[in-house]
Amino acid sequence: MKSILINLCAIMFLALYIEVLHMGGSSGGSSDIDSQSDDCSIVETLHVEPIFRPFLCPLTKKVMRDPVTIENGNTFEREAIEKWFRECKESGKKPTCPLTLKDLKSTYLNPSIALRNTIEEWTARNEAAQLDRARRSLSSGASPKDILQALSYLEYIAKGSRTKSNKHAVHNAETVNSIVEMLRNSSRKIRCKALETLRVIAEQDSDMKETMGEGGTIRTIVKLLSLQSSEKEKAEAISLLYELSKSKNLSEKIGSINGAVIFLIGMTGSNSENILIVEKAYKTLDNLAQSENNVRLMAENGRLQPLLTLLLEGNPETKLSMASFLGDLGLSNDVKVQVAETVGSSLVNLMKNGDLQSREASLKALNQISSCDVSAKILIKAGILPPLVKDLFSVGVRGLPMRLKEVSATILSNLVNSGYEIDSVIIGPENQTLVSEEIIHSLLHLISNTGPSIECKLLQVLVGLTSYPKTVERVVAVIKSSGATISLVQFIEERDLLLAAVKLLHNISPNMAQELADALLAAGQLGALIGIISENNGITEELAVAVGLLAELPEKDLALTRRMFKEDAFRMIISRIKRIRQGEARGGRFVTPYFEGLVRSLARVTYVVAEDHESMAFCCDQNLAWLFTDLLQVNGIDNVPKASAWALMKLSSESKNLTKRLEITPPTMCASIFSCFNKPPQISGLCPVHGGICSLRETFCLVEGHVTEKLVALLDHPNENVIEASLAALSTLLDDGVNIEEGVLVLHKADGIKPILDIFVEKKTENLMKRSVWVVERLLRIDKIAYEISNDQNVGTALIDAFHHGDYRTQQIAERALRHVDRIPNFSGIFPGNG
C-alpha cells in the first residue's frame, strides 16, 4: 500500500513538472544558485532551460542524480539522505524526515525512476545547448570571462556528464584543438584553465592524448614549464605533461622536444614550495624512461639513474648500447663516483667476459669513469686491475686491437695515478703486483714496441708508479737492470711523449741521478732538455718539469756542467730568472716550480768553481754572488733561498783563495838597525776576515758584499733546510785560512751569535746539530765569547749531549768546545803530542 502511495506521488510530481515546463520557468528557481558548488554554478549560469525546484535536493540544494523517496513522500539525493539517517543513528536518535523532523518508521528508500529520467533528459538538453555555446565561445572572439566560463563547462562535462553524446562532443579532436588554441592566449588564467581542462580530458580518454600530441601542442606545454611561467601555470603544465607521458608514443615525443628534459630535470631539483610540481616532474621523467632515446637525453642532461638501471637490468643489447653511450658522456667528478659505485662491477664483468664489441663499450665507459681519483679507487676495489693488465699484455686471438690497448693503457694510467696503494693489489696468479719485476719488464717492453699514443699512456703509468717512495725504488731497480735508461732518455725528443717522459725521469732522478746524467750526455739529449727549458711560449708544465729534472742531476758532475756551458745554458737561465724577478714571465701555477728549478740549476755552476776555471770566470763575469744574495730574499719558495745560500757557501769558500793580498816591502838596513823605522805600514780597505782586497763580484766576499745580515735573517726561517744552508754559508767566515776572530766579530755585529746558539741548543735535525756544533766551537775560540757562554747552562748541556751522543767527528768537536769553556780539562800540557 505504501509503495502504491509513493508511486502516485511521483506521478503527481511529474505532472506538476510538465505543467511548469509549459509555463517556461519556476518561481524561485534560482534562489539557491549562490550556495551551490563550482560545477553546479557553471550549469546554472549557462543553462538554457531553467532549474526546477523539484530537481533540487532539499539537503544539498543541488540537482539530484539519484533521487529517492522516503516513506512520507519527500524526495532527496540518495547519498544525502543516507548520510542523514547515518548521523541520526550515530547520535542515538530515531530516523526523522529532514524537512518535517518527524520520526519515521522506516528508512526504506524508493528510487524515483520517473524523476531521475526527467532530470537526465533535462540535463542532456541543457548540456547540449550549453556545450554548443561553450564551443562557440572558444572559436570566436569572446571575452576572457566567457572563455573561462566555457573552459570550465567543458571540464565539467568531461568530468561528470552522464550523457555519452555530450561527453563524446568534448572528447573529440575539434573540441580538443579549440582548447589547445587557448594555450597561446595572452591571459595566464585562460592558459591555466585550458591546461586543466586538457588534463581532465586526457585522464578520461587515452585516445585524446594522441590528438593532443599532434602539431606543436607538446612544444607549447613544454614552453610553459620555463622559469617565466607562474607556479600555477607550471603546476598545470606538468600535470598535463605527466598524463600525456603515460602514452609510450607521446613519452618519446615529449623527450624529443628541445628543452623538455632539461626543464623536467631542473624541476626535480628546484626549491619549489609546490610539492606537486616536483613529484609530477619525477613521475614524468620515470614515464619518459620507457624510451632509450629519452634515457640518453636524460643522461646527457645530468640524470643518469635511468641509464644505470638499464645497464644493470637491461638485455645484453641494451647493456651494450648504454655502456657505449656512457663512454661518450662528459661527466662531473661527483657523477663519476656515483657511476662507479652503481655499475663499476658490472662494467668490469662486461670487460672480462663480453665479446669484443662489449669489451670495447665497457672500456670506453671505464676510461671515462676512471679519470676521477675517487671513482678510480672504487674501480680498483671492484677488481678492474687483473683483467685490465691481462688484456694489455695479451697477444693473439684473445688480445685486444691496438686502439683498445690504448684505452686500456689510459685506464691503467688513471688508476695508478689515483693515489691508491697500488703495490698492495694482487694482479697475477703468483701474487704479482704492478711493481713486480716481470710486470715492469713487460711495461718497458711494451713501451718500446708500440706507437706513440700507447707509449705516452704507458709512460704515464710509470710516472704514477714512481710517484711514491714505496714503489719508486722497485721501478728504478728494474730500469737499471734492464738497461732501459737510454731508451727512456731518448723519448725527450718526441714531442707527444715529452711531458710523460720528463715527468718519469724527474721522478726517478733522486734514485739514479748519475745514471741519468751519463745517459743524457751519451745520448746527446742534454741539448734537447735545455732546448725545452729555453722555449719562449709561456711557462708550461713541460718547462717546469724539465728544469726540475736538470736541477736534480749531480751538482758536482763537471762534464755535465761543461756541456751546459757549451749549450750556453747558464746565460739562458740567468736571463729567465731575471725576467721572472721583474714580473715579465707568464705561466700561472707553473711559474713557481720553473723558477725554483732555474735557481737550483744555476747554483750547480758554483759547485765546481774550485776545479774549473771557466766556472770561476763565469761567476765573476755574471756577478752571481750578487744574484744569489738577491734571491735570498725570495719569500714563499723555500728551495730558492736554500739553493742560493748553498751557492753562496760554495762561492764564499773560495774567497780566501781569491782575495788580493798586498805584498809587504822588506825592511831596509836602517829599519833593521833602528826599530823606530820598522813599523808595518797602515793599509786601509782590506777585508778583516780574508786579509786582502775583497769584493762580492771578484772574490765572492760575504763581508764586503754585506751578505752576512741577510744570511743571519734566515736563521729563524721555519724551514730547517733553509736554516742549514744559511748556517753553512756563514760558517765560511770561520773557516780555516781566514781570520776567525774577525769572522766572529762580523757575526756579532750582524747579531748572528744568539740565533746560532739557539739553533745548537734546539737541535732540530741531525745535520743542524753537526753543523752548529762546528760553528759554536769556532765561536768559543774567542776568549770573550767563551767567557760569556761558559755560564749558559743550555749551551753547556747541548755540548755535553753532542759529546755523548754524536758521531766520532762531532764528539771531537764537542770535546774541543768543552775545553774552551773549562767543562773538561785541557790535556795538551800533559800529552804534548795531543795539542
User: How does the average pLDDT of the chain come out, rounded?
Assistant: 86
Output the pLDDT for position 354: 78
pLDDT beyond 70 at 688? yes
Phi and psi angles of residue 308, each rounded to the nearest 5 degrees, phi first:
-65, -35
Output the pLDDT for position 400: 85
Output the pLDDT for position 4: 42
Whether the Cβ atoms of residue 759 and residue 723 lie closer than 8 Å to each other: yes
Output the pLDDT for position 764: 81
Task: Give 111's pLDDT tier (boundaries 50, 70, 90).
Answer: very high
Task: Give 667's pLDDT tier (boundaries 50, 70, 90).
Answer: low
Task: Give 413's pLDDT tier (boundaries 50, 70, 90).
Answer: very high
Output the pLDDT for position 680: 53
- Alpha-carbon dihedral of residues 182, 183, 184, 188, nearest 10 degrees? 100
Cα 179 from Cα 190, distance rounded (Å): 10
pLDDT > 90 fraction of the chain, expressed in percent and rounded: 61
Q: Which long-range contacts (CB under 8 A, 24 or more apart) does 611-619 make?
A: 611/558, 612/558, 612/561, 612/562, 614/562, 614/565, 615/561, 615/565, 616/654, 618/565, 618/570, 619/651, 619/700
Segment 232-277, tens digit of pLDDT: 999 999 999 999 999 988 999 999 999 899 999 988 877 766 888 8
- What's the half-sphere exposure (Cβ side, CA atoms, 13 Å) at 508? 30
Output the pLDDT for position 38: 47
Whether the Cβ atoms of residue 491 and residue 529 lie closer than 8 Å to each other: no
Whether the Cβ atoms of residue 97 and residue 13 lie closer than 8 Å to each other: no
pLDDT beyond 60 at 682? no
pLDDT beyond 70 at 831? no
Task: Give 20's pLDDT tier (boundaries 50, 70, 90).
Answer: very low
Residues 6+ apart with CB under 8 A from 416: 422, 434, 460, 461, 464, 465
Output the pLDDT for position 372: 94
Distance of CA 802 to the CA centre of its chain: 51
Cα 473 from Cα 453, distance rounded (Å): 27
Task: Give 15's pLDDT tier (boundaries 50, 70, 90).
Answer: very low
Cα 786 from Cα 780, distance rounded (Å): 5
Output the pLDDT for position 19: 39
Output the pLDDT for position 774: 95
∠ CA(134), CA(138), CA(142), 5° rounding? 95
Question: Reduced to 3 states, what is the DSSP secondary structure of residue 821?
Answer: coil
Output the pLDDT for position 191: 92
Q: Provide mean pLDDT across the span 84-110.
A: 93
Largest CA distance in the chain: 176
Output the pLDDT for position 154: 82
pLDDT beyond 60 at 671? no
Q: Provide mean pLDDT across the span 372-387.
A: 95
Segment 577-606, tens digit of pLDDT: 999 998 887 668 899 999 999 999 999 999
Output the pLDDT for position 302: 87
Whether the Cβ atoms of residue 6 and residue 110 lie closer than 8 Å to each other: yes
Residues 6+ apart with CB under 8 A from 589: none
Output the pLDDT for position 274: 80
- Compare 164 and 316 and report the one with higher pLDDT: 316
Residues 6+ apart with CB under 8 A from 206: 246, 247
Please tell me the least confidently modeled range out of 141-150, 155-164, 300-309, 632-641.
Answer: 155-164
- As a whole number of Å, the end-to-end CA separation of the chain is 151
Neighbours of 102 (CB within 10 A): 9
Regarding beta strands 67-69 and 110-111, do their DSSP bridges make them parallel or antiparallel, or are they unpaired? antiparallel
Q: Provide mean pLDDT across the span 779-805.
A: 89
Residues 6+ apart with CB under 8 A from 93: none
Segment 729-771, tens digit of pLDDT: 999 999 999 999 999 999 999 999 999 999 999 878 899 999 9
pLDDT beyond 50 at 14? no
pLDDT > 70 fraction of the chain, expressed in percent and rounded: 88
Cell 647493456: give the residue. 319
pLDDT beyond 60 at 384? yes
Q: Provide mean pLDDT across the span 658-683.
A: 62
Segment 431-443, tens digit of pLDDT: 999 999 999 999 9
Question: Reduced to 3 states, what is the DSSP secondary structure of residue 96?
Answer: strand
Cα 642 from Cα 636, distance rounded (Å): 12
Cα 518 from Cα 588, distance rounded (Å): 33
Phi and psi angles of residue 644, each rounded to the nearest 5 degrees, phi first:
-65, -40
- CB burial readout 613-641, b (16+ within 10 A) else e: eebbebbbebbbbebbbebbebeebbbbb
Segment 490-526, tens digit of pLDDT: 999 888 899 999 999 999 999 999 999 999 999 999 9
Write the DSSP assignment of 99-157 as a string of letters.
TT--B-S----EE-HHHHHHHHHHHHHHHHHHHHHHHHHHHTT--HHHHHHHHHHHHHH
- Compare 611 and 674 and report the one with higher pLDDT: 611
SS (H, E, C) 359-412: HHHHHHHHHHHCCCHHHHHHHHHCCCHHHHHHHHHCCCCCCCCHHHHHHHHHHH
Q: Provide mean pLDDT across the span 287-297.
A: 93
pLDDT beyond 90 at 615? yes
Phi and psi based region of residue 735 (left: phi greater than 0; alpha: psi -120 to 50; beta: remaining)? beta
Question: Reduced to 3 states, what is the DSSP secondary structure of residue 343?
Answer: helix
Task: Give 429's pLDDT tier (boundaries 50, 70, 90).
Answer: confident
Output the pLDDT for position 663: 66
Output the pLDDT for position 666: 59
Q: Provide mean pLDDT across the span 33-53.
A: 54
Task: Give 684's pLDDT tier (boundaries 50, 70, 90).
Answer: low
pLDDT beyond 60 at 472? yes
Cα 370 from Cα 350, distance rounded (Å): 16
Task: Give 36's pLDDT tier (boundaries 50, 70, 90).
Answer: very low
pLDDT beyond 90 at 568? yes
Task: Give 166's pLDDT tier (boundaries 50, 70, 90).
Answer: low
Q: 753-762 and 740-749 helices cross at what angle (nearest 10)?
A: 90
Output the pLDDT for position 790: 82
Task: Give 37's pLDDT tier (boundaries 50, 70, 90).
Answer: very low
Output the pLDDT for position 168: 65
Q: Provide mean pLDDT across the span 661-689.
A: 64
Count, residues in the chain: 835
